[in-house]
A and B are shown apart, each in its own frame.
Chain A
């Protein structure tokens, strides 16, 4: 039972970790990208439609990633070139993606709410040779599909690019002091564009995993606010990669519990589904109290926001 929940928590956390890692780059570059859900849904659709048409998982994943990156480039174009506010543009892009995928679901795949088919290939479970024989950890770690391992192995890579490379340093400078970055000759908009594309890359993997790995179907708005929860994880961990992934895993565990516990105890699923949102709000309140105390002489309310 417990190992069952832990196993499904690892699965459920995978798209959250992908999306959170993607959101991290833009967060570190000073852009609050609230369109993660939009990137994910378009990737989920492109992935499953391509996999259905070609019968190839690789083609599906690549199509998902490309679609997501295309949408990311579109958002970046509007934000960086046309100076649309990132919040408004992000919301618009998200709902555009929701609408577009639902529209295409009907027109291309001929389904109204849900698309599923036997012809969609599935990822094989990977049994890791020696690890799977370890008593408790083995069955948890082994036997997942490829994208799950990619997600968890991406965490150190993301941490490395952000904190151990020249490019990562630039990203963080852009996020912390844009004017200083400009003065230092960093091409701020170019760096921001790159982080947005990487955001699209990771959300593309998240979306492809959702429709091809986690389940083998596409439903409209199937991301279920996972992008928001990923954003919450980023906020909660203040943008540190490993911590963000850990929080995402924690949220995944809460989701796994909210699926399982009602079956056992009869508790209302809604109350358990509330956990990620309440934890996030609580975290933002705590961060707010801390910064307000630090800037007590400013009175907390910064008038130029």
Chain B
């Protein structure tokens, strides 16, 4: 982050645009190589496996539409995580925020008989509020009591699962054996675009949201301020940014986007709130955001990659009997590689600072510091 030039250089160079891609692309390649070795150890041909992953996710509209359906929640959760991470806030509670948003959408979807054109927006707003309020808990604790938001978020994920599970099994349970809320009304349903999958309007909402945040981040003062908070909160504070208020806002906005992931699942995919419906989209969002480098447009690409892997993996499971969890392994190898700061000197921009040897042998320890709160 220190090599951001102070002024925009006039000359166009493709290197400047490609440089941010080197990290993510090489991480994915390395992860695939490691995954290939793993597959070989399990006695399968890596090329067959990857070929099947590719064809099972991208070839033909049937497969592609499943991929797009699985991409949609990852765009939402990836964007939610990216917004918070960009501002240096550890919102790893997107899973819980998504569940809360889904519950809110599920309730608004069946309990409020609203005329058709208003019902979907109403459910979306309900989901956003649900997610934002759930995210407000760690945010308020962070801002006013200096409590580590990561631990609170991690605790709130299972809490949300239990709370929504309680609601779906006891007070609002639909009649029947399944633990779910009653089906939402038809007026609250997203349009379905494919007979092969539950691909729905949600994907356009997701992409539009990413584009909106890309513009917001790049072209508004507030977007710049949020980035500054992530880079150096103290500097941001002395620069006149109201860090507390902004951290609250960022966290709640992130939670709202997480809640929308839940709305998409309820309004577009399942048509009701089901207990324990999520296979961990909120956690996958962390991987998406890491691969995207917290850039909203990168989120779309990263979510598509992981969505395709998820979709291809079910074909893999059927054809070769390899567990679909191979994809989870690949995904988090990518995260590990991207989290590590390998020092490849030749990739770094040369600057005068590089030639100055470090003054003291003190290792950079700030990364592993933990505020005990």
A contact residues vs B (CB 8 Å cutoff):
30-32, 34, 78-80, 82-89, 91-93, 95-96, 98-100, 102-103, 105-108, 112, 178-179, 182, 188-189, 192, 220, 225, 228, 231-232, 235, 268, 270-271, 273-274, 277-278, 280-281, 284-285, 287-289, 291-292, 300-305
B270 contacts A by Cβ under 8 Å? no
Q: Mind listing 7 A-B residue pairs with CB under 8 Å?
A: A86-B367, A86-B368, A92-B336, A268-B170, A274-B163, A285-B145, A300-B145
**Complex CA distance for A182 and B366, rounded to whole angstroms:** 13
B151 touches A92 (CB 8 A): no
A286 nearest CB neighbor, chain B only: B145
Contacts of B335 in A (CB 8 A): 88, 91-92, 95
Q: How many A-B residue pairs have CB under 8 A?
A: 191
B162 contacts A by Cβ under 8 Å? yes
Instruction: Mark each residue of chain B from 206 to 230: 1 if its CB lies under 8 Å from any CB of chain A, else 0.
Output: 0000000000000000000000000
B166 touches A268 (CB 8 A): yes
B35 nearest CB neighbor, chain A only: A103
B332 contacts A by Cβ under 8 Å? yes
Contacts of B143 in A (CB 8 A): 301
**Complex CA distance for A33 and B165, rounded to whole angstroms:** 28
B326 contacts A by Cβ under 8 Å? yes
Q: Which among A188, A285, A303 has the greatest number of chain B C-beta atoms within 10 A?
A: A303
Q: Contact check: which of B155, B166, B341, B365 meets A271 at CB < 8 Å?
A: B166
A80 touches B368 (CB 8 A): yes
User: Which residues 271-318 of B sit at the A interface, judged by CB distance below 8 A?
Assistant: 280, 283, 286-287, 290
Known: A30-B369, A102-B328. A281 touches B156 (CB 8 A): yes
B197 contacts A by Cβ under 8 Å? no
B50 contacts A by Cβ under 8 Å? no
Contacts of B234 in A (CB 8 A): 303-304
Q: Contact check: which of B154, B328, B367 meets A85 at CB < 8 Å?
A: B367
Contacts of B339 in A (CB 8 A): 78, 84-85, 88-89, 92
Q: Which among B148, B327, B368, B370 has the greatest number of chain A C-beta atoms within 10 A?
A: B368
Min CB distance, B136 to chain A, in Å? Answer: 13
B231 contacts A by Cβ under 8 Å? no
A83 touches B92 (CB 8 A): no
Known: A93-B336, A99-B326. A281 touches B369 (CB 8 A): no
A292 touches B333 (CB 8 A): no
B146 touches A303 (CB 8 A): no
Chain A's interface: helix, strand, loop or mixed, by majority? Answer: helix
**Complex CA distance for A273 and B143, rounded to whole angstroms:** 28
A274 touches B162 (CB 8 A): yes
**Complex CA distance for A34 and B155, rounded to whole angstroms:** 11
Contacts of B42 in A (CB 8 A): 103, 107-108
Q: Contact check: which of A30, A231, A291 meets B151 at CB < 8 Å?
A: A231
For the A-B complex with A268-B170, A304-B233 known, give 16 more contacts whose Cβ atoms are closer than 8 Å: A31-B368, A31-B370, A84-B367, A87-B150, A88-B286, A88-B335, A92-B287, A95-B335, A99-B328, A100-B329, A179-B365, A182-B365, A231-B154, A270-B162, A281-B159, A288-B147
Min CB distance, B88 to chain A, in Å? Answer: 8
Contacts of A192 in B (CB 8 A): 368
Min CB distance, B32 to chain A, in Å? Answer: 15
B373 contacts A by Cβ under 8 Å? yes
**Complex CA distance for A91 and B334, rounded to whole angstroms:** 12
Min CB distance, A102 to chain B, in Å? Answer: 4
B373 touches A284 (CB 8 A): yes
User: Which residues 245-282 of B sit at the A interface, judged by CB distance below 8 A?
Assistant: 280
A228 touches B329 (CB 8 A): no
Contacts of B54 in A (CB 8 A): none
Instruction: Mark each residue of chain B from 342 to 373: 1 if its CB lies under 8 Å from any CB of chain A, else 0.
Output: 10000000000000000000111101111101
A289 touches B145 (CB 8 A): yes
A303 nearest CB neighbor, chain B only: B234
B158 touches A228 (CB 8 A): yes
Min CB distance, A205 to chain B, in Å? Answer: 23
B243 contacts A by Cβ under 8 Å? yes
